[in-house]
Amino acid sequence: MNDWSSLDDTYILPTYSRLPIAIAEAKGNTLIDTKGKSYLDLFTGLAVNILGHSHPTVLKALHEQADRYLHISNKFLNTPAISLAKRLVENSIPGKIFFTNSGAEASETMVKLIHKWSQDDGKGRSGFIVMKRSFHGRTLGAVRLTRQANVYQDFPQPDIPVYEVDPEDIDGLRRLCEQERPAAILAEPILGAGGVQPVPLDTLREMEQLCRTHGMLLCMDEIQTGIGRTGTLFAYQHAGIEPDLILFAKGVGGGLPLGGVIAGHQLVEMFQPGDHGTTFAPSPLSAALGNAVLDVLLEDGGLEMGRHHAEHLWDRLRELQEKYPHIISSLSGRGMMLGIRTNLSPQATAQLQQTLLARGFLVDIAQQTVIRLLPPLTLTVEESDQFTQQLDTLFAQMPVK
């Protein structure tokens, strides 16, 4: 590991704070490092590996598509991508899709679409209402929309009007819609990097109503919450609303880079040939894996399985919260997107993460003191019990303050 760490320091820009392990192999819900140590993967490549690692349906699609072709360019009809687009639209909102390689690229696509709509149909409206602590990517347009100072820093930003509101401040949201004339509301149904904070379902419904009342567009960032993570294909569906635009990425590619935008009926005519594009997306290979993921989720009972497994994990964590209220202040999230909000210091939270790592459990941290869990839908009851029993052991050793 020391050799890999040294080579990483020498040849790769230091933009990430890495955990001190090098991965050699992944099977099921487990990662195996170069020393042979196994880890239960509870953040799945930051919400990418929704079906765990090496899922047989995904591997079958990988091999079959790789035998056909890997890349053809957008000058030709891409049959795996067309099939995937049809299925995503049929299971979300009526519209059309633009595929990207990542979530940040999806955010950039949205910025251009909303700008064109503002110019053509927006009646003088421009810009976005966004949520405090939201995260929408690290490219310049996405950074402008992101509300985390450590992300946007002092980087140059496009001249896009942005209005910030707390996710639970409905009165503030109403005032912005009335006073600032924005073109769109953009929200993550659950703020991921913002601390696994759900936007209340009633607030999502109010957002939809405000957009209909004021002639605005409702944009849902489902990059982290989408593709089954919260128990439905997209998290906005829990609120029974219909957005005008949906961002997706992460879990959709079965482990390969893939993202995109589902543009509703008001936006489907905004782009014409030459207005936007990309060399690689949609990769036929990524799209084939995307179809395999949907096969598992929509046809093989994957969504139902994930809901069942998530319910068990939530039950065990609620027991720990009741047992250790001085450590766990609350639990947040939905489905297989969970935040354990702690009363620990940032240093103690980081130490807990390192101790879990040493004992074979991979977890993430958000907003310094929130243990962020993004487990695969395939997480078993036994694996949930192993993790929560380990938490129980560690919490029992912490002093009561």
Residue 115 is assigned to a structural domain of this protein: yes
Based on the domain organization, do 141 and 253 belong to the same domain? yes
Residue 246 is assigned to a structural domain of this protein: yes
pLDDT surpasses 80 at 150: no
Contacts of 379 (CB under 8 A, 6+ apart): 29, 42, 52, 309, 313, 336
Least trusted range by pLDDT, from 150-159, 175-184, 290-299:
150-159
Pick from 75, 71, 72, 134: which is nearest to 107 by CA?
134
Average pLDDT, the chain: 94
- Report how far residue 304's alpha carbon sits from residue 307's, in angstroms, rounded to the nearest whole number: 5
400 pLDDT tier (thresholds 50, 70, 90): confident
The single-letter code of the amino acid at 108 is E
Based on the domain organization, do 112 and 256 belong to the same domain? yes
Based on the domain organization, do 273 and 306 belong to the same domain? no
Question: Looking up tokens 């939905």, which residue turns up?
Answer: 334
Q: Output the pLDDT for position 18.
A: 87
- Report how far residue 211's alpha carbon sits from residue 217's, in angstroms, rounded to the nearest whole number: 6
Based on the domain organization, do 212 and 309 belong to the same domain? no
Could you say which of 255, 281, 299 is where a domain stops?
Answer: 299
Q: Output the pLDDT for position 155.
A: 82
157 pLDDT tier (thresholds 50, 70, 90): confident
What is the Cα 321 distance to its own chain's centre? 25
The tens digit of pLDDT for each residue in 191-228 reads: 998 889 999 999 999 999 999 999 999 999 999 999 99
The highest-confidence range among 141-155, 160-174, 225-239, by mean pLDDT, is 225-239
Q: Output the pLDDT for position 2.
A: 67
Phi then psi for residue 150, to 5 deg, are -70, -15
Q: What is the mean pLDDT of residues 75-79?
A: 95
pLDDT surpasses 90 at 393: yes
Based on the domain organization, do 289 and 308 belong to the same domain? no
Residue 215 is assigned to a structural domain of this protein: yes
Q: Output the pLDDT for position 148.
A: 72
Q: Output the pLDDT for position 135.
A: 83
What residues make up the domain containing 325? 302-330+389-401
Based on the domain organization, do 192 and 178 belong to the same domain? yes
Residue 174 is assigned to a structural domain of this protein: yes
What value, to the nearest 5°, has the Cα angle with vertex 304 and ends 299 and 306?
A: 110
Provide the sign of the torsion angle of the four alpha carbons 196, 201, 205, 206, taken in this order: negative
Based on the domain organization, do 225 and 258 belong to the same domain? yes
The tens digit of pLDDT for each residue in 87-122 reads: 999 999 999 999 999 999 999 999 999 999 998 887
pLDDT surpasses 70 at 1: no
Q: Output the pLDDT for position 96.
A: 98
Residue 358 is assigned to a structural domain of this protein: no
pLDDT surpasses 90 at 276: yes
Q: What is the mean pLDDT of residues 48-67?
A: 97
Q: What is the pTM of this model?
A: 0.94
Strand partners, 147: none
Based on the domain organization, do 209 and 317 belong to the same domain? no
- Report how far residue 228's alpha carbon sits from residue 225's, in angstroms, rounded to the nearest whole number: 8
Based on the domain organization, do 129 and 149 belong to the same domain? yes
CATH of the domain at 292: 3.40.640.10
Based on the domain organization, do 111 and 250 belong to the same domain? yes
Q: For the chain, give the percent of residues with pLDDT over 90.
A: 84
Residue 270 is assigned to a structural domain of this protein: yes
Residue 256 is assigned to a structural domain of this protein: yes
401 pLDDT tier (thresholds 50, 70, 90): low
Could you say which of 282, 299, 316 is where a domain stops?
Answer: 299
Q: Into how many domains does the chain fold?
A: 2
Q: Output the pLDDT for position 17.
A: 84
Could you say which of 246, 279, 299 is where a domain stops?
Answer: 299
Based on the domain organization, do 133 and 186 belong to the same domain? yes
pLDDT surpasses 60 at 351: yes
Based on the domain organization, do 281 and 318 belong to the same domain? no
- Report how far residue 158's alpha carbon sits from residue 142's, in angstroms, rounded to the nearest whole number: 10
16 pLDDT tier (thresholds 50, 70, 90): confident
Residue 143 is assigned to a structural domain of this protein: yes
